[in-house]
């Protein structure tokens, strides 16, 4: 495997580090598995099982999914595979994407039951609002989520893709109503996409939330497999998804990629090491949500999550990509 370090055995001796999700007390591995491939690019449960089982075997505890991924197939694959190992993992799922009034009390009461059934569990560790809903007052959503927490169906709640103003309003509303409040934000964040640093990250630090960064490799662009002037890697996400490719593949990012490849070569790291190590150096990061198609990719992600960049290396990466 290119860019990996030796020492991977049948069962790892290295203990994957853990961090807390906000003030919830829930601990998660610093590298999580993003399950959006299940039902999309992985269409059979056996292939999903290979990824999930290997992840648990080597110390990953966080699995992030959504009811919208594969129209529920992602949750179903996860539930079918985890089985008796439920107590070893933290399940994070999301709701409210693509459904009119998807965050209303009535809709939440239905979607939570559907997710619990697919996941084959009686509780969800982290239940996240997938996108802000302009059709439903945040008060209604927060009251509905609070009921789920009090009923024991949800341990903690979070938001995804919320603006800083929307996060602040939700936290202030929870404080005013006395409801359970968000403990996490899930946002796109990588060496190539740093816009949340302006307002969102300072807000998280001030209000005690932690971040679950998604797209840590910018759709795979930071995997070290993309080279300007050469064909895109076969079956790579950016090769088949024109939407993601149009966001990532541009002159600015090619120039940054060259600088990052040079940095990786000079410092003896893989591009994966650089991307994960930099994200985990940020104080607000709880766990890096990373997709995987194979057990081998899970192992690569875990190794990358063990990377400790020096202060000078982090400063140089900040200068390169700021």
The reply to whether 166 falls in a domain is yes
With left for phi above 0 and alpha for psi between -120 and 50, is residue 218 left, alpha or beta?
Answer: left
> Helix H segments across 44-199?
45-57, 73-82, 105-119, 138-150, 164-177
Mean pLDDT of the chain: 91
Q: How far apart are CA 303 and CA 297, in angstroms?
A: 10
| Catalytically active residues, by annotation | 69
Residue 128 maps to which CATH number? 3.20.20.100
Which residues are 185's β-sheet partners? 159, 211
- Whether 8 is covered by a domain: the verdict is no
* H helical segments located in the chain: 45-57, 73-82, 105-119, 138-150, 164-177, 200-207, 237-240, 242-248, 251-267, 271-280, 295-305, 311-321
pTM of the predicted protein model = 0.92
% of the chain surpassing 70 pLDDT: 90
Residue entry with tokens 């089982």: 53
Cβ proximity of 258 and 266 under 8 Å: no
Which neighbouring-strand residues pair with 42?
A: 38
Q: How many domains does the chain have?
A: 1
Instruction: Let me know if residue 5 belongs to a domain.
Output: no
Considering the domain boundaries, does residue 2 fall inside one?
Answer: no
Residue 93, beta-bridge partner list: 127
pLDDT band for position 250 (cuts 50, 70, 90) = confident
Would you state the pLDDT for residue 25?
94
**13 assigned to some structural domain:** no
pLDDT at 70: 95
Residue 7 has pLDDT above 60, yes or no: no
Please give the residue range of the domain that contains residue 151.
18-321
> For residue 224, what pLDDT is reported?
78
Question: 295: which 2 tokens?
Answer: 């057990």
Per-residue pLDDT of 254-279, as tens digits, reads: 999 999 999 999 999 999 999 999 99
Does some domain include residue 200? yes
Sorting pLDDT into bands at 50, 70 and 90, what band is 6? Answer: very low
Q: Are strands 18-20 and 27-29 parallel, antiparallel or unpaired?
A: antiparallel
Tell me if 127 is assigned to some domain.
yes
Q: Which residue has the higher pLDDT, 175 or 6?
A: 175
Residues 282-312 have pLDDT tens digits of 999 999 999 999 999 999 999 999 999 999 9
Q: Are strands 90-95 and 62-64 parallel, antiparallel or unpaired?
A: parallel
pLDDT for residue 306 = 96
Any long-range contacts for 259-262 (C-beta under 8 Å, 24+ apart)? 259/320, 260/191, 260/222, 260/317, 260/320, 260/321, 261/224
What is the CA angle 75-40-18, rounded to 5? 50
State the average pLDDT over residues 132-142.
97
Cβ atoms of 277 and 304 within 8 Å: the answer is: yes
* Lowest mean pLDDT segment, chosen from 13-22, 58-67, 80-89, 158-167: 13-22
The pLDDT value recorded for residue 232 is: 65
Q: What was the pLDDT predicted at 248?
A: 81
Q: What angle do CA 56, 131, 194 make, to 5 degrees?
A: 75
- Cα separation, 314 vs 282, in Å, equals 10
Q: Is the pLDDT of residue 243 over 60?
A: no
Q: How confident is the model at residue 221 (pLDDT cuts 50, 70, 90)?
A: confident
Q: Length of the chain in residues, anyone? A: 322
Structure tokens of 191? 């060496």
Structure confidence at residue 249 (pLDDT): 81
**How large is the average pLDDT for residues 78-94?**
97
Residue 6 within any structural domain of the chain: no
Q: Between the CA of residue 218 and those of 78, 188, 227, 278, 294, what are the distances in Å?
A: 24, 9, 14, 14, 19
- pLDDT band, very low/low/confident/very high, at 313 (cuts 50, 70, 90): very high
Residue-wise pLDDT for 111-123, tens only, equals 999 999 999 999 9
Backbone φ and ψ of 179, nearest 5°: -100, 165
Q: Return the pLDDT at 225.
A: 78
Strand partners, 300: none
Q: How confident is the model at residue 10 (pLDDT cuts 50, 70, 90)?
A: very low
Sorting pLDDT into bands at 50, 70 and 90, what band is 2? Answer: very low
């Amino acid at each position: 495997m290119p860019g990996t370090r030796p020492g991977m055995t049948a069962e790892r001796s290295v203990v994957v580090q853990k961090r807390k999700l906000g003030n919830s007390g829930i601990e998660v591995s610093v590298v999580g598995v993003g399950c959006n491939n299940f039902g999309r690019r992985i269409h059979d449960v056996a292939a999903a099982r290979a990824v999930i089982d290997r992840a648990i075997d080597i110390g990953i505890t966080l699995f992030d999914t959504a009811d919208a991924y594969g129209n529920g197939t992602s949750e179903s694959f996860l539930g079918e595979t985890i089985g008796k190992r439920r107590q070893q993992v933290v399940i994070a799922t999301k709701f409210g994407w693509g459904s009119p009034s998807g965050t209303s009390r009535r809709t939440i009461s239905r979607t939570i039951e559907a997710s619990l059934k697919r996941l084959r569990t009686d509780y969800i560790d982290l239940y996240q609002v997938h996108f802000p809903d302009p059709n439903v007052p945040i008060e209604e959503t927060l009251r509905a989520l609070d009921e789920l927490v009090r009923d024991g169906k949800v341990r903690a709640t979070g938001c995804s893709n919320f603006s800083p103003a929307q996060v602040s309003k939700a936290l202030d509303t929870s404080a005013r109503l006395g409801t359970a409040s968000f403990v996490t934000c899930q946002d796109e964040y990588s060496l190539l996409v740093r816009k949340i640093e302006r307002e969102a990250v300072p807000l998280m630090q001030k209000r005690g939330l932690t971040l679950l960064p998604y797209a840590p490799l910018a759709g795979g662009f930071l995997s070290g497999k993309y080279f300007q002037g050469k064909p895109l890697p076969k079956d790579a996400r950016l090769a088949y998804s024109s939407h993601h490719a149009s966001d990532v593949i541009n002159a600015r990012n090619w120039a940054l990629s060259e600088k990052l490849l040079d940095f990786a070569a000079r410092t003896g790291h893989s591009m994966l090491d650089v991307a994960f190590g930099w994200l985990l150096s940020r104080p607000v990061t709880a766990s890096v949500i990373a997709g995987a198609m194979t057990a081998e990719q899970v192992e690569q992600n875990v190794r990358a999550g063990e990377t400790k960049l020096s202060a000078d290396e982090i400063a140089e990466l900040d200068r390169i990509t700021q």
